[in-house]
Amino acid sequence: MRILCICLGNICRSPMAEGALRRMAEQTGLAIEVDSAGTGAYHIGNPPDPRGLEVAAARGYDNTTQRARQVETADFQTFDLLLAMDASNLATLRRLCPQNAEAELRLFHPDGLDIPDPYYGDIPDYEHALDMVEESARALIATLSR
């Protein structure tokens, strides 16, 4: 199972999602591959936002080696599941998805909620985003472990 987590910039929410899914999968003994990407090109090659790194580090994650990249056509073949952080990201993915691709595209949050973009906010917004990311990751890992 290969999973790609997607947001807009690939520097705030999807790096957190990648880190949380990877750690929870390891803890559960679930063999999945996880990566993340952004629909936008603004931050290609950049590490995660320092506020996101700080909030994640406080919960024991080390996302410092991640670098932002943009979603590419091959991702729709390489990955089985593309998880969008919000409805806008999902709409972009649906537009980009080649007709013959078999990847499943859906929202990350199990109740179909948007994980709000914290980029123009501050630390509490990153904490809230990580809360929702961890909630979503737990739900997904539980489903995949069944």
CA-based radius of gyration for the chain: 14
- Catalytic residue of the set 5, 7, 35, 125: 7
Q: Is 13 marked active-site?
A: yes
Choose the catalytic residue: 35, 49, 117, 125: 117
CB atoms within 10 A of CB 82: 26
Q: Is 62 a catalytic residue?
A: no
Out of 13, 22, 23, 51, pick the active-site residue: 13
Count H helices, E strands: the chain?
Answer: 5, 4
SS3 label, residue 13: helix
Is 13 or 23 the residue whose CB approaches ligand 4NP more closely? 13
- Minimum Å distance from CB 111 to ligand 4NP? 19
User: Is residue 11 within 8 Å of residue 66, measured between CB atoms?
Assistant: no
Q: Which residues bind ligand 4NP (CB under 6 A)?
A: 7-13, 38, 42-43, 117, 119
Catalytic residues: 7, 13, 117
